Structure 1
Amino acid sequence: MATSCTPAINLPRLSHHQKPVSATVNIDRSLLLQLDQCSDFSQLKQIHARMLRIGLFDDPYSASKLIQAAALSHFSSIEYAQKVFDRIPHPNLYSWNALIRSYASSQEPINALLIFIKMLCESDELPNKFTYPFLIKASALLSALPVGKGLHGMVLKSEFGSDLFVLNSLIHFYAECGCFDMAYRVFLSMQKRDVVSWNSMIMGFAQGGYTEESLDLFRRMEGENVKPNDVTMIGVLSACAKKLDLELGRSMHLYIRRNGIKETLILNNAILDMYTKCGSREDAKRLFDEMEEKDIISWTTIIVGYTRAGDFNAARSVFRTMPYQDIAAWNALISAYVQNGNPKEALATFNELQLRKKAKPDAVTLVCALSACAQLGAMDLGGWIHVYIKKHGIKLNCHLTTALIDMYSKGGALEKALEVFHSVESRDVFVWSAMIAGYAMHGCGRDAIDLFLKMQEAKVRPNSVTFTNLLSACSHSGLVDSGRDFFNQMEPVFGVVPGIKHYACLVDILGRAGNLEEAVDVIENMPISPGASVWGALLGACKLHGRVDIAERACSNLLELEPQNDGAYVLLSNIYAKSGRWDKVSELRKLMRNYGLKKEPGCSSIEVNGNVYEFLVGDNAHPLSKNIYLKLDEIASRLKSIGYVPMKSQLLQLVEEEDVQEQALNLHSEKLAIAFGLISTSPSQPIRIVKNLRVCDDCHAVAKLISKLYNREILLRDCYRFHHFKEGSCSCMDYW
């Protein structure tokens, strides 16, 4: 919706400065009337042809009328308008403005600025109060702050420095570019303000996250007796939604009705959006049912509202009752499943979309589907999507490129991720960061650092995500000095203030390497309060190095922040068991029972022939369960023949009965998935497994042995990183 007023452009009258058309030329003025009434492009071309035959095109006023019809009518063609314009010997200012205005609203707004430069260089015409708003609009669309500032300077030097339309467009421009202080300075400098001035500032503050400023301005607007309209209330509701202030949002809804503000479709959609973001399904549903007019935004908003609340059945029900399910609605549902950790449902919905063939997937659909594939490790389907992109000639924008790199990296195909990375010319910070993350999760720390250095050579500025991925790469590869150096360079060199995730990575880097005292020192001197991830990183490091004293402190702080964190109990229990402190193990088990906590069950998934199969501990739900357990028995027998001894210490904190310890170890989800992979895939195929938890020491040792005994490559992704098992060894070098 517009927040700046678009001034009407009045056609110029013939002035005494313009050369009159020769009397010998038969000027059919009725043609100009026909131009005003022209309803389609073919009719326009006929009028143009007649104007050329009778010489009317040489008249600047008549030519400007033709430009107006070609550039600004509902059937306009900017290409045709440009060709017409190029044939005008001496275009008047109205013709220049019409072309600038058309380009400012096009897919290529930069052309509006180029036409303006051409006007300054090749014409005697000077910009007027109708020229500047469209140039400033083009600058806003391009986020071209220096250009907009230059135009602002030209305005101040001209006679239009106090023009209401021009100043309103400047407020909108600065807000769009995130320069809220400049927008507010322009607003305060205005001698006269209309409702558009207030709306532009209120909306700008709201969209920029300055919710209190936006609401304060609304109150000031009322105090100055400026009557708010529907656009005002859209800005105010946006601020309420960002604040998650349901009560204030309700009061604004009541304010709209009490003050007779016209409840347009766009305004109702804004109210609906506010209710869904503030978590009130009841208010949202009531309004949705009351709305006489609904569009795709209304339907998708209510769908998203239900999915945010976790009510996917209601979301599905609304989706089924939609009069027309366009791609935006499908995207809303697929995206909601992905964002709520339901990748299987997301892909099922994506497959349903493909089967129905009523809407065509767009770039957003494919990004969501690829994200679901990445979560599941479903590389067959992810590869199919990549082929689909190529087959349909879909341009790889940065979002799609990032999603493909992420999918291949998390699917275990680092080489394919690199192919995608090197195949594109345009790489933003997220594309670079995704590739660094790919290296990190595969334990290729040196490669991640090399890529980071190339990123700097490419003049791409790293952001917070880049450093999280880079520090993770250092952690997984034991590059302590590099990790410490990069962390220390973040703010002074790159202007990125370290956050909780970065401190957690640094603690992990130091802790994994055994520098636990230094890790504790980092935590004690943090300028921000340590979060759960920081204490969790320290606790994990204590398990590796058996430091009970520090582990108890880390666990205590972690549970203070997250009392229901079952993983913290399990980790400390592991540490106690490793040091032989069984009394403490028993105490922790009792505490977990008293608090009703249970260890999160291990779940491993494997993709075979495009289908993803999930296994839990001791799972027997698979149709081939009998064959899987026969294979497990075979594996156990072969392992014993080469001297393998189960690491029962892995279960001492959870399984008390000695006779079931070995059996429980043998039923871990990743072992079931590996057995299924051995009987379901060809020997030449790698077995790709995704696990929700950290792989245990015993499963890690078994996977190494299986890779040698069966001559199979096993790619196992746990919640921390990838493990490439091949010929009896793992890519992590037992450092994970």
Structure 2
Amino acid sequence: MAVANSLAAGISCSNSSSSRKGVHQFSHHSTTKTKLAFPFISLLFLNSNSSRAVRAESSAACSSPVLEDESAAVGDAPVFELALKLEDFQHLPEDDKELNSLICSLFKDSQTEHLAYDYYEKAKTKPGFKPKKYTMKLAIRYLIHSKNWSLLLSFCQDLKGFGVLPDKSTTSRLIMATVKARKFKILNDLLQLFLDKDAESAVLAFDSAMKGYNQLHMYSSTVDLYNRMKCAALNLDAGCYCRIMEAYFKMGSHEKSVAIFQELDSKKLNEIEGSTVSMPRIYCILFEALGKLGRHFEALEFLREMEKRGIQEDHSHYSSLISSFANAGEVEMAEELMKEAESKKMLRDPALFLKLVLRYVEEGMMEKTLDVVAAMKRVDIRVSDCIFCAIVNGFGKRRGARAAVKVYEDLILQGCDPGQVTLASVLSTYIRLGMYPNAEMVFAEMEKKGYHKCVVAYSSMVAAYGKMGRTRDAMRLVAKMKERGCEPNVWTYNSLLDINGKALDLKLVEKTWKEMKRRKIEPDRVSYTTVINAYHKARELEMCIRYYEEFKQTGAKIDRAMAGIMISVLSKTNRVDELVELLRDMNRQGTQLDARFYRSAVNALTDAGLQAQVRWLQENFKYS
């Protein structure tokens, strides 16, 4: 009644009033203002004995009705100002039920939830006050939402002092929030509180903490919690076993993951709480662990036992087993399980089909990859770009480029849709075969599909234009590439260097080189070889030596192409000492010479009268 009278005395309804009292929300350190709509006030005390007094006094003081029609929109309700200060509520309701109801009502409104916590703090000073479980639930929700971790730390002591533990959903949410925020001091206090108060709640709390740690990839912390539960003699539920098995598996401790399952298996599954929900996931982890250990046949036995135990099979079980057998090279068993899974409508994992394709490619069973595509169509799973590309590249690796483009065209006719990776791969294959019109068609399709930033495709087409002698098209394509925000890489510039080098356009070669440097793209061995070759053809031998010296500073290994060019350059410029040094470097690196450059080196050393070096060259080098 005291609260209601104080509220009623604070209401001012005069629409013509020139000034209004501020609505003060009180906090621990300051007083601020807020506005409350009248419908909230009436609803707040609708179920209290003092609500009639509030409405009666308010109606007498106002020229218009206090209560609006229920059909009126809350947003259109007149706004009243209410002076609320902590000192105005020295006399809180004596009845705990009414006080809990007041606090809960304030917590339910986002505009007053901060006010509710201050009421809660004031109520704690009232002798004999004990909050209801629902009150504590709303307080926890507010503290999590506001991320007020310092208050939450002290609130843990309230939970302990009042002996009120939150319900299951609130417990899980509270624990998960503290883990996600990495407030491990609060987490440890909460876990200890649950351990001291209630074993069943403690198991739920530990399960939530382990789940949170796994989500943060803090698997060793999950193991620590498991050991802590064992020391406290808690009876782990299926969820806890699932978390610790997952943690050990992610840590690479597959044997321990299997050992945890054996511990669980030694108990009666129907006596373990949460087994119905968690057991399918537990078996999935078991199959993965056994597969990593090479014990895939043992995993298959567990799959058969699942049916006898009444544990529901899941598509992930078949996916794990099929992958394990495929990785082990047991292709026939993998195919049998695949047929079984298809008959049970449990082929749903696209990653499984990719693993099978890769295994078939590795085994050289290329026709089987097309069977995988057929199976995917039967179960209505789209052939992904990765699978498409793996098949095309597999045929290219095993049977050559022409087989690759043929299988690509066949899959297109079957309705498979290639993505960026497949298109870029087949584009390069067409160029390698000299099928430039087909390459241009593929590139046009990539542009049509919006793949405007594929550096591989651009670089391949620039190289193709160079081979076709279409220098201007190559330059225009590089310009378009830059406009679209696709940065050229070293392959792109190597193609430009090769095009301009073959045309002996040394100005463009130099310009391209400087642009590479300006864009901070480091030239590779191909870049240096291309530039040196261009200057060699133009008979600018000093420039060849300059770029060769720069290349040596990178510490890269000289290849056969560059070695041959530089032997010719050094022989023509009579740099015998540098020629001998180059030959020794080649000998250390195991680089071979062709017949033409071998004879060039021998002649240069002979003309210089270095017979000992000639014999050394003949003894250490064999030309092809």
TM-score after normalising by structure 2? 0.48
- Which structure would you say has the larger Rg? 2
More helix by share: 2
Higher RCO, Cα 8 Å, sep 6+: 1
